[in-house]
Structure 1
Amino acid sequence: MTRPPVLSVEQVSKSFAGNQVLREVSLTVEPGEVLALVGENGAGKSTVLSLITGLLAPDSGQVVHDGTPVPRAWSPHRARAAGIGSVHQELSLNPHQSVAENVFLGAWPSRHGLVRSRELAERARPLLERVGLDIDPNLRAGRLPLGGLQLVELAKALAGRPRLLILDEVTSALDEDQVASVFRVVRELRADGGSVIFVSHRMAELFAISDRLTVLKDGAVTATREREQTDHDDVVRLMIGRELSDLFPAKANGSPSEPLLQARDLTVPGACAGVDLDLVPGRVLGLGGLQGQGQREVLRALFGLARHTGRIAVDGRPARITSPRRAIRHRIAYVPEDRKTEGVHTARSVRDNLALPSLRELAPARRLTTVSRGAESRLVAELTKRLRIKAASPAQETRRLSGGNQQKVALAKWLPTAPRVLLLAEPTRGIDIGTKREIYHLLRRLADEGMAVLITSGDTMELVGLCDEVAVLYEGAVVDRLAGSDLTEERLVRASVTGAAVTDIGATSAPDTSAPGSVARA
């Protein structure tokens, strides 16, 4: 007898305040299958997942689980009890509780009203090992980095022994080893007859782990494809109606001018050593390498957020950048990696975030006691239009925006300050392909207007497609510089993994490690 699908979404529609976000969406998840749910931000993916997990109820249509329509009183609690686990990009952990307490939140073993901490830790340990975390279960969760917290969320979902696991953008903050741990869990679950709904904006991940792909566009399913019967270009066309080749703008032409900012022997203790960089107007420079090789600290040092040694010059003159205030005076802007905690103030409005760096210019006579509301409104309207920020109104809380629009706000707020140097850490992490394209073309326009741009990215294709040059870091030192025909994914990956400059396709030359930060050129 053929088993019914683990899950069926049948002709489901959903509207909010008259705005229809889902239009007769249908999809199925079979036993032992990984289904990738693909689409741009705003395509309806999160709404579909909310219907499955009981956060929302459909206006029409139905959700069927194990052959039975879910009841009208379907809720997250009932979904978990029925074997549906979920992990989302938004963390739900309590940073003040231990890792073990978070993993078994709501199900702590106790005696006479006292939590049995030792038993709790012992129960958590194998789950943490399963997701690739070698940590003390009694460690306070707030001490973990973002990637570690995401894996704790996965362990928490596995504690409920789900037969259907929903992974919604869980890999966006993970390094390669952590992604491999997630994939191992997915494969184990699939081999045991379980099923997974996997959501990611990383196309390579979708094709690496899924069996089928269902594509959403504007709240409707455009197609479902077997993985072997489609490719990247096909999926991108279904998502945004454009070819993948249109993703990146043309690179800079002509000879570069004199550097606007120079860093020599830049060293952040414990992170990077002897880094030399030239940031040139009209050029996009990338920092490549595996995650955690010092890229983030280089950007933070250049913005005065990390204590450092070495020499920095702006316009050929020495510059002491010991704080963000000093960096801003040198017209340096920084868009950090974690937009939700550092890039934007999520509880404040779009208007407040966009106006914040320009408050002095918006105040009459540059006195911060008052702000010209008219000038502020004009500034916000101009930035919203220029970057095509999709918000209900300027008064909308920034946390209500999609990830891509939050990133646009984090970048747009700096533009009125007329920065000459723009530093961006992981500028398109967790963003759909359509919004990525907008940001890539914007960064190229800013460079063409005379700005020097420096980015870090864990996306090899992004570095190769966008940057004019990539400096590859390995254990905190620049080991290779790639530009022109030498800037290929193969050479970038080889240098990142081996820590050696690629002299030709079949050979590498080891960097001179006798001098910190020595550079071997391809």
Structure 2
Amino acid sequence: MALLSVEKVSKSFAGNRVLSDVSFEVGAGEVLALVGENGAGKSTVLSLITGLLTPDTGRVVHDGAPVARAWSPHRARAAGIGSVHQELSLNPHQNIAENVFLGSWPSRRGLVRRRDLVARAEPLLARVGLDVDPRTPVGRLSLGRQQLVELAKALAGEPRLLILDEATSALDDDQVAAVFRVIGELRAQGGSVILVSHRMAELFAVSDRLTVLKDGAVMATRDRADTDHDDIVRLMVGRELSDLFPPKAPAAAEPAQPLLRVRGLTVPRSCADIDLDLVPGRITGLGGLQGQGQREVLRALFGLSRHSGTVEFEGRPVRLDSPRDAIRHRVAYVPEDRKTEGVHTMRSVRDNLALPSMRDLAPARRLTTVSRGAEESLVDELIERLRIKVSSPAQETRRLSGGNQQKVALAKWLPTGPRVLLLAEPTRGIDIGAKREIYHLLRRLADEGLAVLVTSGDTMELVGLCDEVAVLYEGTVVDRLTGPDLTEERLVRASVTGTAATDTPGSGSVVHA
């Protein structure tokens, strides 16, 4: 008997049908991958299972019984359904233990038993591979570690069905391995998992079956052993994606002069002695396991963190002590967390796209007024150029898919005429079709003369997109890969060993740039 069945479920919003007769089931001890592009209906299905929504027609059957019309997130958790989503639901001002047991703190006579709270949290943190004091405020953790706290929080409810909705998008390889161990434990105990991820390799690594959604309908359910990546992609998008990555720039006969030359960049407690040459027309990547200093390099180059070292722009020394300095030297930055740093989600698409250009949109540079005609023209041009899918420029940005939000975060900088573009995890948590669009857009921008610097935890992305990758290990560059040397094998080796491929294995030597 299936632990969970979704039976001919349909759902509409304001007359727009988003699910049409969706049916699938998850057996005990099974991992089901739910696959589809953004907008395919995955989130709506998960909301029906977890009690956030009720179906218009059809039903959800859990543990042999249809869920009641009064099904709710609270009742779903009580029934043994846990969930971890890409969007965090943690209180950054509370510590880890308090977040893990939020709503069920142990108490006596009205007083919280802090020692018991910490003691109960420790084994859960160990289970998810998080070696950190449970009394640490969540706001001090990296995004990946916060995601593991979310997983520990879900496990605290001892779920029989665990839903992982893009829960690995911010994790490095070691952290993903910890999640996989949890999945294996649940499977061995007869529990079930519904896994949503845009990382195809993860889906094939742990799932038993894959159900593909497209435009709110189930296209097919495949046993993992009977399908492959290409088959699933064809079902998702209706076309081949052999051209996922655009052609790279041809190797120049003479090395081009760097637009931005970085020497000895050091950020305290994060990275040291980083040398980079950002060249017009080329995409440079920063590789390595998560937390090796990649994020801090980008933030330093945008003036967001204290740093030392020298930076030259077009051969002249410059100081990048603040974002104002960076923008003045035509450096643009698209951060990793688009929802909190990249865009104002509660503001309209128009407001987000126009914000960096307000000075230029003001008649006669009067900052108290904006030329509405110029603003509308600018916004319409950016929406068309980046093919941002919106109902209108007035649509709230939070209503867009992840891929379209990322396009807004990038598009807003283009009218400022950037020469250097810094991007942290540019395709995190977006579907494969949107990834392709962003890859091709970044190559077009490079072809137009921009120097692009990208960080990514996706090895295939760095290899397929970048002309050169500098691999960081414990805050220093240990290898530089380009041309035929830029392979997944070499990149992974340098990332996990801290040695370049030319080093003698076991010597422990490190190549510093």
- TM-score, length of structure 1 as denominator length: 0.95
- Which residue in 1 is equivalent to 2:71? 74
**Change in CA separation of 1:56 and 1:421 when aligned onto 2, cut-off 3 Å:** same
**Change in CA separation of 1:351 and 1:510 when aligned onto 2, cut-off 3 Å:** farther
Rounded Cα–Cα distance in structure 1 between residues aligned with 2:313 and 2:482: 23
- Which residue in 1 is equivalent to 2:258? 259
- 2:505 is aligned with 1:518: no
- Which residue in 1 is equivalent to 2:351? 352
Equivalent position amino acid for 1:453 in 2 = V
Deviation at 1:104, TM superposition (A): 1.9
Superposed counterparts of 1:72-471, under 5 Å: 72-255=69-252, 256-471=255-470
Deviation at 1:509, TM superposition (A): 9.5
- What secondary structure is seen at the aligned counterpart in 2 of 1:73? coil
Deviation at 1:243, TM superposition (A): 2.4
Rounded Cα–Cα distance in structure 2 between residues aligned with 1:150 and 1:368: 41
Rounded Cα–Cα distance in structure 2 between residues aligned with 1:511 and 1:219: 53
- Which residue in 2 is equivalent to 1:21? 18
Deviation at 1:511, TM superposition (A): 8.5
Deviations 1:304-347 (A, max 9, x none): 11222222111111111111111111111011111111111122
Equivalent position amino acid for 2:296 in 1 = E
Gaps of 5+ in 2: none
Deviations 1:463-491 (A, max 9, x none): 11111111112222222211111111111
Rounded Cα–Cα distance in structure 1 between residues aligned with 2:337 and 2:28: 36
Deviations 1:137-178 (A, max 9, x none): 333332322222211211111121111111111111112222
Equivalent position amino acid for 2:57 in 1 = S
**Change in CA separation of 1:381 and 1:511 when aligned onto 2, cut-off 3 Å:** farther
Equivalent position amino acid for 1:52 in 2 = I
- What secondary structure is seen at the aligned counterpart in 1 of 2:502? strand
State, as a whole percentage, how many aligned pairs show the same letter.
79
Rounded Cα–Cα distance in structure 2 between residues aligned with 1:303 and 1:198: 36
Rounded Cα–Cα distance in structure 1 between residues aligned with 2:217 and 2:211: 10
Deviations 1:344-370 (A, max 9, x none): 112222111111110000001112111
Q: What is the aligned length?
A: 511
Deviation at 1:91, TM superposition (A): 1.4
- What secondary structure is seen at the aligned counterpart in 1 of 2:8? strand
- TM-score, length of structure 2 as denominator length: 0.96
Given that 2:479 and 2:512 are in contact with CA atoms closer than 8 Å, whether structure 1 keeps it comes out as no
Equivalent position amino acid for 1:170 in 2 = A
Rounded Cα–Cα distance in structure 2 between residues aligned with 1:74 and 1:127: 28
Deviations 1:217-240 (A, max 9, x none): 111111111111111111111111
Given that 1:6 and 1:195 are in contact with CA atoms closer than 8 Å, whether structure 2 keeps it comes out as yes
- 2:7 is aligned with 1:10: yes
Given that 1:503 and 1:509 are in contact with CA atoms closer than 8 Å, whether structure 2 keeps it comes out as no
Deviation at 1:96, TM superposition (A): 2.4
Rounded Cα–Cα distance in structure 2 between residues aligned with 1:75 and 1:265: 55
Rounded Cα–Cα distance in structure 1 between residues aligned with 2:507 and 2:302: 31
**Comparing 299-308 with 405-414, which one deviates more in the overlay?**
299-308
**Change in CA separation of 1:103 and 1:254 when aligned onto 2, cut-off 3 Å:** closer
Deviation at 1:508, TM superposition (A): 5.6
**Comparing 309-318 with 420-429, which one deviates more in the overlay?**
309-318
Rounded Cα–Cα distance in structure 2 between residues aligned with 1:107 and 1:265: 49
**Change in CA separation of 1:173 and 1:254 when aligned onto 2, cut-off 3 Å:** closer
**Change in CA separation of 1:49 and 1:444 when aligned onto 2, cut-off 3 Å:** same
- What secondary structure is seen at the aligned counterpart in 2 of 1:244? coil
**Comparing 29-38 with 334-343, which one deviates more in the overlay?**
334-343
Gaps of 5+ in 1: none
Equivalent position amino acid for 1:20 in 2 = R
Rounded Cα–Cα distance in structure 1 between residues aligned with 2:15 and 2:327: 44
**Comparing 328-337 with 400-409, which one deviates more in the overlay?**
400-409
- 2:497 is aligned with 1:498: yes
- What secondary structure is seen at the aligned counterpart in 2 of 1:166? strand
Q: Which structure 1 residue ranges, 4+ long, deviate > 6 Å from structure 2? A: 509-512
**Comparing 90-99 with 410-419, which one deviates more in the overlay?**
90-99
- What secondary structure is seen at the aligned counterpart in 2 of 1:501? coil
